[in-house]
Structure 1
């Protein structure tokens, strides 16, 4: 059982495990969890920004997801890869 709560600012990777609507997985950044909207147990409504391949917000959406099926990311993969490329390279002495 997943004990972590979805919070504002979280970056989530949504696949079919979060909802059948995500045939194509997407990355989103959570704006807020809509706690006053009624749902089935274990499901929630979230306001999110959908992120593109560069990690930029391209659309605002309200999504209905199974909380146990979401996957957390600290940053979109492209943003992490961009940070690695910009880090100075270390010389290896032989």
Structure 2
């Protein structure tokens, strides 16, 4: 697992970063503060803002890779189970 780098230089494992993500991260319908309603960052914060933006993008990419890997693993397991089921000629139970 590749750690995500936070603005303060602290390393954070991607799984932990996902757990600590804001509750609205995956829900586009949830309210978020509008960027226009906030004051722009102060000049001494611009460098940290840049590092945060890069860390956020990296973490989002890692999240997508993890999700794709998990789905792929589940699909492979399911395929193996179905193949074994057919090979053994198992009967499908009657629907009730």
TM-score by length of 1: 0.32
More helix per residue: 1 or 2? 2
More strand per residue: 1 or 2? 1
Question: Which has the higher Rg, Structure 1 or Structure 2?
Answer: 2
